[in-house]
Amino acid sequence: MKRFFAQCYIWLLLVVLYAPIVFIAVFSFTESKVLGNWTGFSTKLYTNLFTGDMQGSGSLMSAIQNTLLIALVAASISTLIGTIAAIGIHNMKGRGKQAITFLNNIPMLNPDIITGVSLFLLFVFLHISQGYTTVILAHITFCTPYVVLSVLPKLTQMNPNIYEAALDLGATPFYALRKVLLPILKPGMVSGFILAFTMSLDDFAVTFFTRGTIGLDTLSTYIYTDARKGGLTPELRPMITILFVGILALLIIINLRKARAAEKANAK
């Protein structure tokens, strides 16, 4: 009985939470310009989205490209800087370590709007004109701390003697770095990269303040401007639906795999 009520509560909450997305998904299969007005089943919005046969499709496509490009570049650079920094931080002691850890925590604690405004003021102060470069720099700023925090635990868990042993056996420092240190750090780097990538994809506020006035749009800023112009472009409905279903499938697969792996480990 208790279990029944508990399940009811959980599913009620889920139904309410998912109602808006389901609503968008349902109405992505009708042609009506106005949301909530069902004019018969149609996949026209999907075809429009993929063939680019819609108003302002060029800017939507370039917004999607920008989003992916910025996320890829920012996440890659963050992973590189963050990993090198983590190795350095791991070998530091005392005040210096405290100071750098403190600074590293700030972008994670700061609300997006503060990060955005403060970087905006930096670029204004340094007279740097804003565009792609400033957006990417800004994204690196808030992504790198997550990489550092993903890689650091791998270093603390590592047995330091392994690296020393490689050197004693005649490996050059660079060879030992590549063959010993890197494989140990790799899982941390991968999860750091994924975190950084999704943080960058998700960002709105920081991009909004650092993109300048050259008309650079990411998906978030595109949607923001589009919605403020009065209502969502109908073609965004299938796009939101596709993104949603894609992420849902990915997460369920990852989690089921994890659960299965855990079961196997338990069986042993």
Partner 1 sequence: MTKRSTWALPYAIFLVLFVALPLILIMFYAFRDAGGDFTFGNFVKFFTDKDAIETFALSLEVAIENTGICILLGYPAAWILANKKLNKSAVTIVLFIMPMWINALMRTLATAELFNVLGFQLGKGTLLAGMVYDYLPFMIYPIYNILEKMDKSYAEAASDLGATPWQVFWKVQVPLSMPGVISGIMMVFMPTVSTFAISEFLTNNKIKLFGTIIQENINSGMWNYGAALSLVMLVIIGITSLLQDSKKNLNEGRV
**What angle separates helix 94-109 from helix 57-90, to the nearest 10 degrees?**
160
CB of 53 to partner 1, least distance (A): 22
Cα 98 from chain centroid (whole Å): 27
CB of 268 to partner 1, least distance (A): 20
Distance between CA 207 and CA 222 in Å, rounded?
A: 11
Burial 151-163 (b: 16+ CB within 10 A, else e): bbebbeeeeeeeb
186/258 with CB nearer partner 1: 258
Distance between CA 248 and CA 261 in Å, rounded?
A: 20
CB of 236 to partner 1, least distance (A): 8
Assess contact for 234 and 45: CB atoms under 8 A.
yes
CB of 40 to partner 1, least distance (A): 18
- One DSSP character per residue, 199-249 reads HHHH--HHHHHHSTTS----HHHHHHHHHHTTS--TTHHHHHHHHHHHHHH
CB of 76 to partner 1, least distance (A): 15
CB of 129 to partner 1, least distance (A): 16
CB of 209 to partner 1, least distance (A): 7
Coil, helix or strand at residue 4: helix
Coil, helix or strand at residue 58: helix
Coil, helix or strand at residue 33: coil
Nearest-5° angle of CA 225, CA 55, CA 211? 30
